[in-house]
Structure 1
Amino acid sequence: MNEFELIQSYFDWQLNDSTIATGIGDDAAIFNINKGFQLVTSTDILSEGVHFFKDTSASDIAYKSLAVNLSDIAAMGATAKYFTLALTLPKLDQVWLKDFSESLKLTSEMFKVSLIGGDTSRGPLNISITIMGVIENSKAILRSNAKVGDTIYVSGHIGDAAHCLKKIFGGLEPTKDELISLNRPFPRLNLGEALKEIANSCIDISDGLEQDLSHILKASNVGAEIDVRNLPLSKSLLNYVNNNNDWSVPLCGGDDYELCFTVPKTQEQLLKSISELCEVRITKIGVINNTKKLKIKGYDGPSNSYKHF
């Protein structure tokens, strides 16, 4: 099986999006954007041994590869539309490819995004996805617009994926829910789209709350104070933190893919309605101030959020 047969067999899916003029099969894809909208795009790479274990299932790898990219679109408040896939394989394993492509197709259908192109090559297992979305002109939620007095919120729970990794590296057996948190994060697309009307800034939590919130502060030239007692934790993680006094897991662990965002106090009631409409827990964790520093009340440990290098 050559490269073109591989693509045709596993990734040339029927497209149901009328905005796509040309998809897989030509030198490049062509799609149409409505007047008054901007294109939003992001790329993430997942590498074996760095972002997932060697024994991680092809199905979970496919799901997470797309989900983490969708999370970037959610953080911008955009609507996800298209993606490309660059897949590097150490060998041609048709069983693995079948599981990977079926999971990727199901995930793309779940979140209503279309695969419009990509590339394949031989080498260590790497998955690179470029995601594209659209948003009304000047409506994107940026990191750089947090205002003094904004309230800081986090969606869902944080720290479960990091707790799962800590267990695995410590020789302990993670729970099924913890493995799901690690391998199958849920991108908050509906929440992101709703937040574009009220949020001043937003970021998805991929490298740890402490580091990612700091990106907002730096880009916005502001400071913040948060309280560890307000962090939204699962029962299992809360028990671990209480027993070990280790707040670094939810603060610095990463791999959450929840949204951290800031909202003016005047929009708190509307935010409550958005939370109910999107069926997503939203937790107030702190406030933006003018100190240009991040103060974490209840934690004075090291800043050890994930760094790629």
Structure 2
Amino acid sequence: MIFDQTAMAQPDLPIRNISVRRLGLAEPGDDASLRSVPIEAPVSIEVCGLGYAVMMATPSDLVDYALGFAMSEGLVERPDQVEAIDVDQVGGGWVVRAALPPERAEIALDRARRRVTESSCGLCGMDNIEQVLRPLPAVTARISIDRSAIARALASLPDHQPLGRATGAAHVAAFCSPDGEIVRAREDVGRHNALDKLIGALARAEIDPASGFILLSARCSYELVEKTVRAGCPMLVTISAPTSLAAERAAAAGLTLVTLARADSALIVSDVHRAIG
């Protein structure tokens, strides 16, 4: 697998400073200042020379993003099924090109022909409700953790959010060991993008998602459950609440789902395998 990022010229942190004016509400006083905000730009994903989707994303870790996106979308099952990924900056945005072998290319081309939406929400290429709600594969991995591992991961999460600290406007997805150590983390303005970047980063580093759990700084929508299940990870922890479909899909797949995770408590939505002690 060949990765080319030579065309990527990005700052250490993908941020931009904008002029703002503070408006006093509860307290008097207005003043002008600069505010750091995360860069959001269109990222075009091309698969085998065909435009597959255009996402609004943070232009960092785009190789991780493309690989994770391809795996989450079911275009490939393993990273070695991607022959090459290259990234180029173009006028107004970025282009990520992925080359697949013929047997995987046909899957991608068929999905691209039938897609009805371009978003990072997991609906790319779906043309009916049955496809969207198709059964997820059962979670076969097992993990056993103490609740203190969740607390440890939450406490250290800010250390892995440089973009979030600088702007207050970015999500983070982190992969944690069973004892709560954060092994990898990726940030993006989009919660789906951050998770795709994390999945790609784990694949490139040959870290098995079955060996730990994923922690997200986002509400738990069904797409995040699906991406976690398809990655083969047995447990998902989010700091915000779940949607009804997220809870249903997690339970049906056997995914341990923990939400509203805070320093003092968390809400177990699904734990059919009694993973948490």
TM-score (norm 2): 0.30
More helix by share: 1
Structure number with greater Rg is 1
Give the structure-1-normalised TM-score. Answer: 0.28
Work out which structure has the larger RCO, using CA pairs closer than 8 Å and 6 or more positions apart in sequence. Answer: 1
